[in-house]
Amino acid sequence: SQQGEEDPQALSIQEGENATMNCSYKTSINNLQWYRQNSGRGLVHLILIRSNEREKHSGRLRVTLDTSKKSSSLLITASRAADTASYFCATAQTGANNLFFGTGTRLTVIP
Amino acid sequence: NAGVTQTPKFQVLKTGQSMTLQCAQDMNHEYMSWYRQDPGMGLRLIHYSVGAGITDQGEVPNGYNVSRSTTEDFPLRLLSAAPSQTSVYFCASSYSKGTAGNIQYFGAGTRLSVL
């Protein structure tokens, strides 16, 4: 399987705190993406980082990528109750459109 | 724009029955795909298509068929449903080239139970 893995599987924090989740993957990639899934809904794209980038920001999101370690992290700063969701990383190999998803981190932000 | 539309939202089948999950997108995306989501396993790719008339297998294709006669539609057929196919099914689409890369847009999902 080419699936990656997220760590931790579940994370519970207080509103206002930062949340960090990690993703490890197995193969060389073209880009890595993070998606969010609210309970009972489809996935929504959050951010994409290319293999030649090391860090990317979007609003309260910060993503890092270390291709030598085949790992990525997603940081959500100043979390809100509305951030409660599952977060998935997904990798794309060079020349391919297919995405391979990790197992997800379930984030709960307590008001 | 409606984006990616999946029907039905819920379905209960008996073992051995067949059915088709519908997926349509109105974004003129070349690439479409089907995933299944099971607890603790993330999303796994079933089949995908890079354009009308072209389909290929993903990680877990057994027991499923697809076709792509138009750019807009990508139905998934279960030939003879089995309890192991109980899952949530997601359809997704994306551009195949350009700066948008392969960012995928997902439908709301179909929750399938096979008894």
Contacts of A42 (CB under 8 A, 6+ apart): B4, B90, B106, B107, B108, B109
**What number is the average pLDDT over the span A82-97?**
89
Subunit contact B48:A97, Cβ cutoff 8 A: yes
Residue B97, pLDDT > 80, answer no
Contacts of B68 in chain A (CB under 8 A): none
- pLDDT of A17: 98
DSSP assignment of B43-101, as one string?
EEEEEEEEETTEEEE-S--TTEEE--SSSSB--EEESS--GGG-EEEEEEEE-SSSTTT
**C-alpha radius of gyration, chain A, whole number:** 13
Q: With 60 as the cut, is the pLDDT of residue B99 above it?
A: no
Which residues in chain B touch residue A24, judged by CB atoms under 8 angstroms apart?
A: none
Interfacial residues of A (vs B; Cβ cutoff 8 Å): 1-3, 31, 33, 40-45, 48, 88, 90, 92, 96-104
pLDDT tens digit string along B37-64? 998 778 999 999 999 999 999 999 999 9
Nearest CB to B42; choose among A41, A42, A102 = A102
- Average pLDDT taken over every residue of chain A: 93
Q: How far apart are alpha carbons B110 and B21 in whole angstroms?
A: 8
The percent of residues in chain A predicted with pLDDT above 90, rounded, is: 77
pLDDT of residue B101: 66
- Check whether B2 has a pLDDT greater than 90: no
Predicted confidence (pLDDT) at residue B96 exceeds the cutoff of 80: no
Chain segment A36-62, per-residue pLDDT in tens: 999 989 999 999 999 999 999 999 999
Report the range of poorest mean pLDDT among A24-28, B93-97, B103-107.
B93-97
Task: Extract the tokens encoding B11.
Answer: 């379905």
pLDDT of residue A46: 97
Contact A42 B50 (CB under 8 A): no
Chain B contacts of A42, Cβ < 8 Å?
4, 90, 106-109
Q: Which of B59, B96, B108 has its CB closest to that of A42?
A: B108
pLDDT above 70 (res A2): no
Percent of chain B with pLDDT over 90: 88
Mind listing the pLDDT tens digit for each residue in B31-42? 999 999 998 778
Closest residue in A to B105 (Cα–Cα):
A44
Interface with chain A: mutation pick from B29, B38, B43, highest number of A CBs within 10 Å: B43
Q: In terms of CA atoms, which chain A residue is nearest residue B31?
A: A97
State the DSSP H helix or E strand holding residue A108, giving kind and residue range, or none if neither: strand A105-110
pLDDT digits (tens, 9 = 90+) for A23-35: 999 888 889 999 9
**Chain B CB contacts of A90 below 8 Å:** 104
- Tell which wins on pLDDT, B102 or B44: B44
